[in-house]
Amino acid sequence: MLGSQLQSQSQLMSSSTSHVQGQEEEIPRPQTPFQLRQLLVTCADLISQSDYSAAKRLLSILSANSSPCGDSIERLVYQFVRALSLRLDRHGIPPSTAPAPAPRVFNINNIVNTSPPPCGTNNKMLKNYDSDQETLRSCYLSLNQITPFIRFSHLTANQAILEAVQGGQQAIHIIDFDIMHGVQWPPLMQALADRPNNTLHHPPMLRITGTGHDLNILHRTGDRLLKFAQSLGLRFQFHPLLLLNNDPTSLALYLPSAITLLPDEALAVNCVLYLHRFLKDHSRELLLFLHKIKALNPRVVTVAEREANHNQPLFLHRFLEALDHYKALFDSLEATLPPKNRERLAVEQIWFGREIMDIVAAEGEGRRERHQKFETWEMMLKSVGFNKVPLSPFALSQAKLLLRLHYPSEGYQLQILKNAFFLGWQNHSLFSISSWH
């Protein structure tokens, strides 16, 4: 399919390139979203061919037809122009044609709490978001509220865990790889507390081992979960597990010794939007990690990932995949949120903008957003001995209810393929979740 896309675009790209290489006034001004997309692809193709001066001239046109506060295609173009400009900058080409930066640096509170919201940031600020944990935390919580994808993943994973440990289990241990702020677990804790409470089956003891790269955030997450468990009368323990140097592959070196398992404890392993972080230009660390997870003999392993191939070694292929993936995401936000929504602006510019920057502008070992499609995860999990556990009809009905109550748009589509769930927008799958044993 990707090859046919490239072939179908070659004629237009060739025509656009000839205009760009000639006089700038000959370049036709884009009139439609399709033309804007084609010019973006042409620009990426020019960069892949090291024709940087022609790419800069195209970026100037694209920049004039983009806006962080426009419609979905204008906002999408804005983010990709910024990423392409940063890629040029890393090739030593000054990104003079990048969208104009805002007159001042702002944080998430400026976006959410001011009116009108500021539009536009600069590349330097985006690159500093990694060190601004409070900004990222606020943006993640907004992402969790205004899109169904994370909540869908959490809800479905929780149901798979509950079904895997049902039947009078006295103790449950969940290893959550990258627990972040722990928003997945209060609904599961509530479900455990609400199970029939009699002398034979008291609510089980729940232990969660949560990994992360900031010990303070881990401790705050543990404290919040402990207080919630106490309010339910649920026995609970939290164990933080710090990732060395913010590197998930460090876990592969000391698992399972870093995990304490108790006798008669049912183990569940949760990998929501996590496994792709192991991918570099090879998959040795990921396979080692999966082998060690298998050695822990968990009752269930839940896996949720983006349904996109952003791990392509060729820049232009990766660019096309990212362009279609984020177009569907931006279109879904356009259809489900009111114009000028501040939370959407924050999510698009900070969270998705940060991802697009990484996919488009970064190369080699420094590139982190290496999403793969479900077939890749299925192949890897099966290769180390995992078997797929079909997700239940109740899990499906819960996911449908979530979409109907909180995101009432016909654009969201839920599919079941190969005993896994896929959630997407307008026939474009965006997220997958599956359960393994």
Looking at residues 272-295, what average pLDDT do you find? 88
Which helix (DSSP H) or strand (DSSP E) does residue 304 occupy?
strand 300-306
The share of the chain scoring above pLDDT 70, in percent, equals 81
What's the chain's Rg over C-alpha atoms? Answer: 23
CA distances to 74, 188, 257 from 174, rounded to whole Å, are 42, 11, 16
Calpha distance 28→50 (Å, rounded): 22
* pLDDT (tens digit per residue) in 333-350: 999 998 889 999 999 999
Report the pLDDT value the prediction gives residue 98, as an integer from 0 to 100: 45
pTM: 0.86
Calpha distance 379→331 (Å, rounded): 31
More confident residue, 406 or 123: 406
Look up residue 365 and give its two tokens: 């070992």
Report the pLDDT value the prediction gives residue 133, as an integer from 0 to 100: 76
Report the pLDDT value the prediction gives residue 173, as an integer from 0 to 100: 97
137 pLDDT tier (thresholds 50, 70, 90): confident
Closest CA to 184 of 274, 255, 307, 306: 274
What value does the mean pLDDT of the chain take? 84
Q: Where are the domains of the chain?
A: 2-131+313-366, 147-307+371-387
Report the pLDDT value the prediction gives residue 291, as an integer from 0 to 100: 94
Residue 327 has pLDDT above 60, yes or no: yes
28 pLDDT tier (thresholds 50, 70, 90): low
Residue 284 has pLDDT above 90, yes or no: no
Report the pLDDT value the prediction gives residue 90, as an integer from 0 to 100: 82
DSSP structure class, residue 272: E
At the second CATH level, the architecture of 147-307+371-387 is 3-Layer(aba) Sandwich (3.40)
51 three-state secondary structure: coil
CA distances to 32, 314, 417 from 42, rounded to whole Å, are 15, 15, 34
* pLDDT (tens digit per residue) in 391-400: 999 999 999 9
Calpha distance 72→96 (Å, rounded): 24
Give me the residues paired with residue 242 across strands: 212
Across 37-46, 118-127, 311-320, 339-348, least confident range: 118-127
Dihedral in degrees, nearest 10, Cα atoms 70, 325, 392, 203: -70
279 pLDDT tier (thresholds 50, 70, 90): confident
33 pLDDT tier (thresholds 50, 70, 90): confident
How many CB atoms sit inside 10 A of residue 91's CB?
13
Task: Find out whether the peptide bond into 338 is cis, omega within 30 degrees of 0.
Answer: no
Which helix (DSSP H) or strand (DSSP E) does residue 388 occupy?
strand 388-389
Residue 102 has pLDDT above 60, yes or no: no
239 three-state secondary structure: strand
Report the pLDDT value the prediction gives residue 94, as an integer from 0 to 100: 65
Calpha distance 248→130 (Å, rounded): 16
The alpha carbon of 237 is separated from its chain's Cα centroid by a whole number of angstroms, namely 28
Report the pLDDT value the prediction gives residue 43, as an integer from 0 to 100: 97
- Mean pLDDT comparison of 128-132, 256-260, 333-337, highest-scoring range: 333-337
Look up residue 181 and give its two tokens: 């702020």
Calpha distance 207→221 (Å, rounded): 13
More confident residue, 44 or 283: 44
Contact between 423 and 399 under an 8 Å Cβ cutoff? The reply is yes
Across 64-73, 128-137, 285-294, 391-400, least confident range: 128-137
Q: Which residues contact 50 (CB under 8 A, 6 or more apart)?
A: 91
Report the pLDDT value the prediction gives residue 280, as an integer from 0 to 100: 78
Report the pLDDT value the prediction gives residue 261, as an integer from 0 to 100: 86
Look up residue 241 and give its two tokens: 């597990």
Report the pLDDT value the prediction gives residue 281, as an integer from 0 to 100: 62
